[in-house]
Amino acid sequence: MASTFKNAGLTVPTTDSSAGNLYTAGGSETAVIHAVYLSNASESNAAKVTVKVTVDGGSTFYHVGKNLEVPANNTLTLDKPINLENNDILRVVADPSPDSSSVQVEAVASILAIT
């Protein structure tokens, strides 16, 4: 078994779709997400962010954190491991409120991929 440390990054979308997939474990890979960093680059608006994962290879999502508030000019860190099996997905989506122009969220994950 080979282990590889990786980083994945994403400008977080406001639509809950595959555009919000921060990381997908490969077909012959498992992965440990060591931490997820959610950064709000807005100077004045707080952001609400949802983080979720699949547990069945990409079909059904479950919330890791729902409507997590990230203050303006700040970062929220989720620092407990999340395990992904083959084809499981880590997805991050921002709430567009109060308006879509105010959402300026980036996400970075620290990952250990095992093949």
The pLDDT of residue 64 is: 97
Q: Which range of residues forms the domain containing residue 10?
A: 3-114
Residues 6+ apart with CB under 8 A from 18: none
Helix (H, G, I), strand (E, B) or coil at 62: strand
Which CATH number covers residue 61? 2.60.120.340
59 pLDDT more than 90: no
pLDDT digits (tens, 9 = 90+) for 22-55: 999 999 999 999 999 999 999 888 999 999 999 9
The pLDDT of residue 61 is: 97
The domain tally of the chain equals 1
Contact between 107 and 41 under an 8 Å Cβ cutoff? The reply is no
Helix (H, G, I), strand (E, B) or coil at 83: strand
Contact between 11 and 92 under an 8 Å Cβ cutoff? The reply is no
